[in-house]
């Protein structure tokens, strides 16, 4: 899933309440480690993607 609004604090809360439900190769500790290492880049890329989308696919008013 794509969640550009995620901050470290929000991600920590998600992992606190549901980290034991993670599937795959990452556990909560590894997820946090990778976030500390790469999270700032993911946030920047997310903002760039949203900016691009709003430029390419501008929202037009709905005609009545």
pLDDT tens figures, 55-64: 886 667 777 6
* The model's pTM: 0.62
Q: Is the pLDDT of residue 8 over 90?
A: no
Locate tokens 């980290």: which residue? 19
Q: How far apart are CA 48 and CA 57, in angstroms?
A: 14
Could you give the C-alpha distances from 17 to 1, 5, 11, 28, 45, in angstroms and in order?
A: 18, 18, 10, 11, 26
Over range 34-55, report the average pLDDT.
88
Over range 28-55, report the average pLDDT.
89
Write down the pLDDT at residue 5: 82
Cβ-defined contacts of 23-28 (< 8 Å, 24+): none
Write down the pLDDT at residue 64: 63
Q: Residue 46 contacts by C-beta under 8 Å, 6 or more apart in sequence?
A: 2, 4
């Amino acid at each position: 899933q794509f969640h550009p609004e995620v901050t470290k604090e929000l991600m920590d809360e998600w992992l606190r309440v549901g980290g034991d439900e993670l599937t795959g190769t990452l556990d909560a500790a590894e997820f946090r480690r990778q976030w500390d290492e790469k999270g700032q880049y993911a946030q920047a890329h997310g903002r760039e993607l949203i900016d691009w989308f709003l430029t390419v696919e501008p929202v037009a008013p709905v005609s009545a």
